Structure 1
Amino acid sequence: MPEDIGDLCKALRSGALTAEALLQRCFERIEKLDGVLNSFVAIDYAGAENAARESDKHLAQGKARSALEGIPLSIKDNLLMKGVPATWGSRALKEFVPEQDELPVARLREAGAILIGKTNVPELTLEGYTANDLFGVTRNPLDTRLTPGGSSGGAVAGVAAGLVPAAIGTDGGGSIRRPACHTGLVGWKPSTGRVARALGFPAILLDFEVIGTATRNVADAILLDGVLKGSHPLDRRSLLREAPSRRSGNPKILYIPRFGDSPVDPQITNAIDDFAERLAGLGGDLVRGKIVFDLDLANKIWRIVSRSGVAYLMRQYPNLASLGGVSAQVMAEDGNTISGADYVEALEGVAALRARMRDVFADYDFILTPSAAALPWPAEDAYPDRIDGKTAGPRGHAVFTGWVNIAGLPAISLPVATSKDGLPIGAQLIGAFGDDDALLMFSKVAMGG
């Protein structure tokens, strides 16, 4: 049976496949495979079955509500889905069941997508692997000894294993792009404000975190983006967006293979070098360069915003203080040492980084980097402590992604190679703020259509 959304859409509309049959196939694969992977943490059997029957009625009448009519999707566990637990990976929220959908989830439901259930995350979605005290460890379908990354680890594991055709996740610092990279998928992160958000958990990462997707190809990412994108009065950030002016001629691409002295696995470097040559062969004007922003400033902003956010959550959800995991407790303690003046300094840094990237994209159309600095590591470990034989800290593997969120830029991870052990390697393409459509179309061309 076809796996791509585009193929499934054709089968559903031709009558060769029904939404109910497709849903049952997903349930069967989850039952067979997910005991080892631990992708899903809650499944809405009754709700999904009712939605599939409704989709079949629409399809039979030739009145599909969108291209997603009858397509099963998973929802990351930090997003609110009516009637299904939303734990954010924390024991403190084990009993929380939302009474309404978060805005993007509602948009998917209205489009006829079949929302199967929720996928596993690290607690509070602030780590680069996927494990928590409530649901345990999620594993990579390509090698179950290894992590699929995080925080959208459950989401990508389900897609890579064929449990669902695609997954909806969030990306606050690379949380879709790196897991997609580690599982051989396409990970899409739109510009801040492209997908309106409201009615969800507190935004502890300012506007850094956006709704995105994990898919098997760029065409499916474009299809999902077409349904998800759009403004809404509940999200003022979504209302005012100005598309950048496009440069004429061949796209000019700034290739940055390394950020300063941060280590990168040599197999990754070689693979992205080859992909860069592929882009040049497609007519791209490729310029090899160095990091174009202050990495120390970006790291400082990330620490201040994320740790302050966790400290705030401890006030909002008192149970976190007693039931939160060790990592959440440590983050909150750090957050409590941060002053209001520190936070204002971080906000000024955000503005400076965004202004800097405006200047960079006056000269370039796209930026190319690796998606991650390391290949997948053991599933139980929070991060690889060594990369290319050098000591690496908690964010060493994630050095290429977090700054993109701070800058609010669109970015995509593309599966471009495999390691000598058969592990996937991803390339990250980044566009100017608001230039999402051009980035998606260029990515489609770069991947051969």
Structure 2
Amino acid sequence: MAAGKRHAMIWQADCTTLLEMFAAGRTTPSALVEVLLARIATLDPVLNAYSALSDTLRAGAEAATKRWAIATPLGPLDGLPLIFKDNLVSAGLPAAWGNATLARRIAPHDERPVAALRDRGALVIGKGNTPEFAVEGYTDNLTFGVTRNPFDPALTPGGSSGGVVAAIAAGLAPAGLGTDGGGSIRRPSGYTGLVGLKPSIGHVPRGGGLAQVLLDFEVVGPIARSVRDLRLLDWALSGPASAASLVQPARILAIATLDDAPCDPEIRAAFAQTVRALRAEGHEVEEGPLPYDLSALNVGWTRIAEIGLARYFRDDPEVGKAAAPKYRDMAARGAEASATDLAAILQAIYALREAAAELWGYDAILMPSSAAHPWPASDSHPPEIDGQHVGPRGHAVYTGWVNAAGLPAVAFPAAREQGLPIGMQLIGPAGAERRLLDLAEPVVAPFRWPELALTSG
């Protein structure tokens, strides 16, 4: 194969393959970066996945190329270019979080998860667009605009990690790092056919980042096109597993719906197919309801972001002044909350964490990652699901409780040969990240490229 053709297709390789190619001399970080930048120039005007690009990417790739040439890589990820969500602090770039004031502030340092990947040789391509303050399930803001889904640019890729998933699914990055405070890795991964890991609280150390506006719910995790890449990036972020283990048959609770919340019929059908696939792998899959009443948590859910924004705007009023009116309104409502209000929210969270600590006796829980297909890109949420009117979080009913409980979950695409991707999630007890990856991997549908990505070559 000619060198030009070989380099032209390396954008389709996953991270594991790319690193093998670097080591064998079959391609270089510099060659990969040039291909990715050319694709970004062609496709990002359509998708608006990136809110910023690194001006040191080429230099970093050149240095990594020289190190691989003499077999002295900086680390196991040397020269691997990744996209980082724009609420993660990365030296030399703004952590804009969709906000005009933050977009003018250049970070002098990396926060801990970014530093962990850079220390192992990873390169930062740029920042993935996010809704302002990452508190919504679609991706749009007044500073950078609307991000679109590569499978249908009229639709949203979800949020709040929408820029990251759009770039990875379109071949504008091999993988990346997102955050999940209420489903922001899992739902967008599902809308774009990707795999994503929402870790337990504390699994990926945090520090040196932006303000936390969702209590301790928001965690950092990898998003990729293959499970083996999730393993690779999770290892880089959190350290090696204590020991390898064989995949043992698991007891799994399959929850298709939550109370009377609607779910799209196609998603329910894909869920049933996933149940059958897990049973075919030898797992005991019991179908039933969530053995816990989430009503107390749901009552206080919107108040959490309101209170968090009120505190943030008090501490950084310039950011608050630049915020979109709806977020200023949210902060105003949060400023009126009492200590008693916050105590009630915390009581509901602590009760859930105590009840869910052992996952009600199951090894894992299977749920869809979203109750709805992607909707028009500039709309905040679908107004109806399966003919029923829903509110702003009607599509998100399956994810937020997992964050409140502090549990890990892996998102993956259900088997589907055509149409929009549909995402599922396996949720486990705290510390079960690697076990969940083991359980999910045999039933994960291979990544299916959107036509938009393939037409650009």
Unaligned runs of 5+ residues in structure 2 are: 1-8, 447-457
Amino acid at match of 2:159: G
Q: 1:79 to 1:448 in 2, by over 3 A?
A: closer
2:182 is aligned, of 173, 186, 196, to 173
- Asked whether 1:64 is paired with 2:73, we answer yes
Amino acid at match of 1:311: A
Q: Report the counterpart of residue 273 of structure 1 in structure 2.
A: 272
| Cα distance per residue 1:313-346 (max 9 Å; x no partner) | 1112212343210221221122122111111221
Checking the alignment, whether the CA contact within 8 Å between 1:19 and 1:56 is kept in structure 2 is: yes
Q: RMSD of the alignment, in Å? A: 2.0
Checking the alignment, whether the CA contact within 8 Å between 2:94 and 2:107 is kept in structure 1 is: yes
How do 1:2-151 residues align onto structure 2 when only pairs under 5 Å count?
2-45=12-55, 47-151=56-160
Q: Distance in 1 between matches of 2:187 and 2:334?
A: 25
Alpha-carbon distance, 1:432 to partner:
0.6
Secondary structure (helix, strand or coil) at the match of 1:257 reads: coil
Secondary structure (helix, strand or coil) at the match of 1:378 reads: coil
1:437 is aligned, of 434, 437, 449, to 434
Q: Distance in 2 between matches of 1:419 and 1:444?
A: 18
Alpha-carbon distance, 1:247 to partner:
12
Q: Report the counterpart of residue 218 of structure 1 in structure 2.
A: 227
Q: Distance in 2 between matches of 1:77 and 1:189?
A: 17
Q: Report the counterpart of residue 384 of structure 1 in structure 2.
A: 382
| Cα distance per residue 1:231-275 (max 9 Å; x no partner) | 9xxxxxxxxxx99xx999620000000000001000000110111
Alpha-carbon distance, 1:447 to partner:
2.6
Checking the alignment, whether the CA contact within 8 Å between 2:416 and 2:445 is kept in structure 1 is: no
The share of aligned pairs that are identical, in percent, is 44
| Cα distance per residue 1:107-139 (max 9 Å; x no partner) | 111111111111100000000000000000000
Secondary structure (helix, strand or coil) at the match of 1:41 reads: strand
Q: Distance in 2 between matches of 1:138 and 1:312?
A: 28
Q: Distance in 1 between matches of 2:247 and 2:437?
A: 18
Amino acid at match of 1:282: E
1:425 is aligned, of 407, 422, 430, to 422
Q: 1:195 to 1:249 in 2, by over 3 A?
A: closer
Secondary structure (helix, strand or coil) at the match of 2:196 reads: strand
Q: 1:248 to 1:123 in 2, by over 3 A?
A: closer
Checking the alignment, whether the CA contact within 8 Å between 1:85 and 1:98 is kept in structure 2 is: yes
Unaligned runs of 5+ residues in structure 1 are: 232-241
Q: Report the counterpart of residue 235 of structure 1 in structure 2.
A: none
- Asked whether 1:291 is paired with 2:290, we answer yes
Checking the alignment, whether the CA contact within 8 Å between 2:352 and 2:405 is kept in structure 1 is: yes
Alpha-carbon distance, 1:66 to partner:
3.5
Alpha-carbon distance, 1:295 to partner:
2.0
Q: Report the counterpart of residue 402 of structure 2 in structure 1.
A: 404
Q: Distance in 2 between matches of 1:105 and 1:206?
A: 21
Checking the alignment, whether the CA contact within 8 Å between 2:196 and 2:222 is kept in structure 1 is: yes
Checking the alignment, whether the CA contact within 8 Å between 1:247 and 1:365 is kept in structure 2 is: no
Of 311-320 and 252-261, deviating more is 311-320
Q: Distance in 2 between matches of 1:396 and 1:190?
A: 23
| Cα distance per residue 1:290-311 (max 9 Å; x no partner) | 0222222222342232110011
- Asked whether 1:205 is paired with 2:214, we answer yes
Amino acid at match of 2:429: A
Q: Distance in 2 between matches of 1:36 and 1:249?
A: 45
Q: After TM superposition, where is structure 1 displaced by more than 3 Å over at least 4 residues in a row?
A: 246-249, 417-420
How do 1:235-250 residues align onto structure 2 when only pairs under 5 Å count?
250=249
